[in-house]
Structures are given as C-alpha cells and as structure tokens.
Amino acid sequence: MVSAEDRATRSPDLARKVRVLHFVSGGFSGGATQVAIQLVEAALAGTKVEPLLVLRRKRHTKPERIQELVQRGLPVETVSGWANLATIVSLRKLCLRYRPDVLVAHGFSEHLWGRYAGLLASVPALVHVEHNTRERYTRWRLAQARWLGRRTARIVGCGPGVLQRLLELGFPAGRTTAIANGIDLAPFVKIEPLALASRESALIMVARFGAQKDHLTLIRAISMLRERGLRPAVYLAGGGKARHRAAAEKLVKDLQLQDQIVFCGMLRNIPERLSRTKIAVLSTHYEGMPLALIEGMAAGCAVIGTRVPGVQEIVCDGINGLLCEHEDPKSLADAIERLLRDESLAQRLGATARLEAISAYGRERMNAEYERLFLALIPLVD
C-alpha cells in the first residue's frame, strides 16, 4: 500500500490538482462508504482532483475488502476506530502528511470526528455529507454538529429528503445543499428491458436485512393478497444482519408463505433480475437516497415505495410509481394489487420511471456535481 507520506511528493502535473480526502466508515455495509469509493474512482479517472480514501477501522472491517480496493488502484489509508479521540488524533496526523485542500467527512458519526481532525490540521475546506434522513443524533452530538457546521464550507445532503431534514435540524441554510446519489446506469442501458407484459408477474425487494428496512410489512401484505386470490412470487435479495433475516423467515413460516417468498441472499445480477420482474418494492422505515428503488426504476419496473422521507421525494405517486403508507400492510397490499390487475398502469409507471432514472440519477451526474463543488471551494487551484 502506498503511504500518504509517499504520495505527498507529487509530480508537477498532480500539483495542479485539488487534493480531496474522503473520510468514511470502514464497515462497508452502508451507502456512505460506497459513495465515497465511487467518488474516489471517478476522481482517478479525471484530471482535476487527486483523491485519497481514508477508512475508519471497525471491529468487523475485513482486510480483504481493503485489499480489493488497493488492487483496483484506489489510494487507501485506514485510521484507528477503537475510540473517537483516537480516530481524531490518527486522522489529524494523516492530514498533516497528506495536506488535503478539502476533507470530505461522510456519514454519522464519522462526519463529527473527521471535521474535528480537519480543523486541528488546518485543512482549508471541510465538507460534511449526510447520507440519511434519520441519524442517531443525541442532543450533545447535534450541538457538536451545529457548531462544526458553522466552520464547514459545505453541508451536503445525499438527496432532497436529506436536505430538508438538515434544514429542519438547524444547519446553516446558506452552506447546505443537496447532491443526489447516483447509480451505475451502464448495466441498465445495456440491457433492453422486457415489456412488463412479458415479465414474471412477481415482486423483488433489494435491501439488506436490518432495522431500517421493513421486510415484515411486505410479508404481511403478501399474506393479505393471498386472501384476495393473488399469489405473486416475491424475491427478497440482500445480506444484512442474521437476526433481522431470521425474524422475516419466521414470519414467512408462521403465515405459510414459503411457496411464494424466496430469500435470495446477495445477488450479483441485480440489473438482469430487475429487468425480468414486473414490480420492485422498497418497504422501509426511512431512507437517505433509495438507490435500490432507483435501480428498479432504471430497469423499467413498476415501483412501490413507502411514504417516508427519502422515498417520497423520489416517487411521485401515480406518476413514476406508487406510494404506500408506513408500516401499513393493507396500504402496501392495495398498491401491489393495483399493479397486478392493471397492466396499463404498471406499464405507464415503469416507462416513466425508467426515463426519469436514466436522465436524473446517473453516477456521472453525481461525480460531476461533487467535482464542481470541490473546485469551487479552492478557486486558486489551477
């Protein structure tokens, strides 16, 4: 692994680039880490930003995952994660060696410790990226975040719902903006999606098993549909925590839905599976930017999402998908039934959703917006 100290001696070409350090959790399970990785990869492919990815080590950080990033050519460093103070000290030392122009602190609570380190290292510009609409702010941590916000160049919400939440929490409006996360559109553009009438009349939900996602409401909705004479297959794709998957499996067994609901685990061919399935569902308690739902839109699925912050700003009910009420199996069952029984509605929603996803939610757009932000913060860089 190339050290930050070695990278500090740059060629003349690199000296004209803006140095951007992305600091994020090394847990790899959340969207914040994946966004940071994507931004680093995009910068490496460009000519204006010299990136560095810094991961906060967690108990469950797998060395092989870090090694995979190194083998892909990403500049990666890790800092201590056993205590918040240790993280700040370790990251400050790294900043003093690497000398970034911009430090981007992704996600809670890393955005606190990352900005403290940046302030202590006199990094010229700090950026806070919030990745969810419901973070675990205590009164004390919210007070710290607001204090840091007054010393932060930009506060970025990863979608319109997150931006609204940031403003509600009292972050400075003049420094707070939104840059929507994006997906890799190439697999969806490459695949010619089947017309909905030719797809399997089934549902797929791509989401990790965890407290944030609401698989149980979907399972209960499927049980209600059986009483109405509808028995669609349901594919639950994703990893996550064993206890949350076990709770879902138990409910499926209790409701005798084993012949309909399939636990797929992690899938490598998500675009292909989506393009062959009629309905994509995201039953959830809250979101930041629901990329799994946007992938369903890009595949031309008729999508259903829960009416919660993060989703309700993306899905316009009756225009590009349907919304159901939070933790309401009947509302979700009603939405699924509408799409199963009304082919023309499902076709119209899926076509509109695909056009919108491809035009508005690509990674290239996200990468370009972040690059413009970084360059705007350092106007004297050539």
Contacts (Cβ under 8 Å, ≥6 apart) of 90: 79, 80
Mean pLDDT of the region 198-210: 96
Q: What residues does each domain of the chain span?
A: 4-182+363-377, 186-360
CA pair distance 379, 176, nearest whole angstrom: 19
Mean pLDDT of the region 96-104: 97
pLDDT at 227 over 70: yes
Helix (H, G, I), strand (E, B) or coil at 112: helix
CA dihedral sign, ordered 361, 363, 365, 371 = positive
Confidence class of residue 27 from pLDDT cuts 50, 70 and 90? confident
Residue 3: its pLDDT value, please? Answer: 47
Residue 216 tokens read as 């149980």
Residue 100 tokens read as 């970034």
Confidence class of residue 194 from pLDDT cuts 50, 70 and 90? confident
pLDDT at 382 over 70: no
Percentages (nearest 5) of helix, strand, coil residues in the chain? 45, 20, 35
Contacts (Cβ under 8 Å, ≥6 apart) of 50: 10, 14, 17, 18, 19, 20, 43
Provide the angle, in degrees to the nearest 10, between the axes of the packed helices 242-254 and 215-227: 10
Residue 179 tokens read as 């840059």
Q: Judge whether 4-182+363-377 and 186-360 match in fold.
A: yes
**pTM of the entire predicted model:** 0.87
Residue 11: its pLDDT value, please? Answer: 39
CA angle 21, 71, 15 (to 5 degrees): 40
Widest CA span of the chain, in angstroms?
70
Contacts (Cβ under 8 Å, ≥6 apart) of 331: 324, 325
Confidence class of residue 380 from pLDDT cuts 50, 70 and 90? very low
Residue 7: its pLDDT value, please? Answer: 44
Confirm if 161 and 288 have CB atoms less than 8 A apart: yes
Residue with tokens 């800092």: 79
Local structure of residue 195 (DSSP, 8 states): P
**In terms of Cα–Cα distance, which of 212, 237, 221, 236 is closest to 309?**
212
Residue 13: its pLDDT value, please? Answer: 43
CA pair distance 309, 317, nearest whole angstrom: 14
User: pLDDT, tens digit, for every residue of 61-77?
Assistant: 889 999 999 999 999 99
Q: Are strands 154-157 and 176-178 parallel, antiparallel or unpaired?
A: parallel
Give how far Cα 172 sits from Cα of 137, 155, 271, 345, Å: 17, 8, 39, 42
Q: Which CATH class is domain 4-182+363-377?
A: alpha beta
Q: Which CATH class is domain 186-360?
A: alpha beta
Mean pLDDT of the region 340-367: 96
What is the spatial order of strands in the sheet that 49-56 belongs to?
A: 76-79, 49-56, 18-25, 102-106, 125-130, 154-157, 176-178
pLDDT at 381 over 50: no
CA pair distance 381, 199, nearest whole angstrom: 52
User: pLDDT, tens digit, for every residue of 238-247?
Assistant: 988 999 999 9
Which residues are 129's β-sheet partners?
106, 156
**Average pLDDT of the chain, as a whole number:** 93
CA pair distance 207, 265, nearest whole angstrom: 10
User: pLDDT, tens digit, for every residue of 263-314?
Assistant: 999 998 999 999 999 999 999 999 999 999 999 999 999 999 999 999 999 9
For residues 121-157, b (16+ Cβ closer than 10 Å) or e, as one string? Answer: bebebbbbbbbbbbbeeeeeeeebbeebbeebbbbbb
CA pair distance 276, 194, nearest whole angstrom: 6
Residue 379: its pLDDT value, please? Answer: 67
Residue 59: its pLDDT value, please? Answer: 80
Q: Are strands 176-178 and 200-206 parallel, antiparallel or unpaired?
A: unpaired
pLDDT higher at 235 or 62:
235
Residue 173: its pLDDT value, please? Answer: 96
User: pLDDT, tens digit, for every residue of 114-134?
Assistant: 999 999 999 999 999 999 999
Compute the residue count for the chain.
Answer: 382
CA pair distance 281, 234, nearest whole angstrom: 10
Residue 5: its pLDDT value, please? Answer: 45
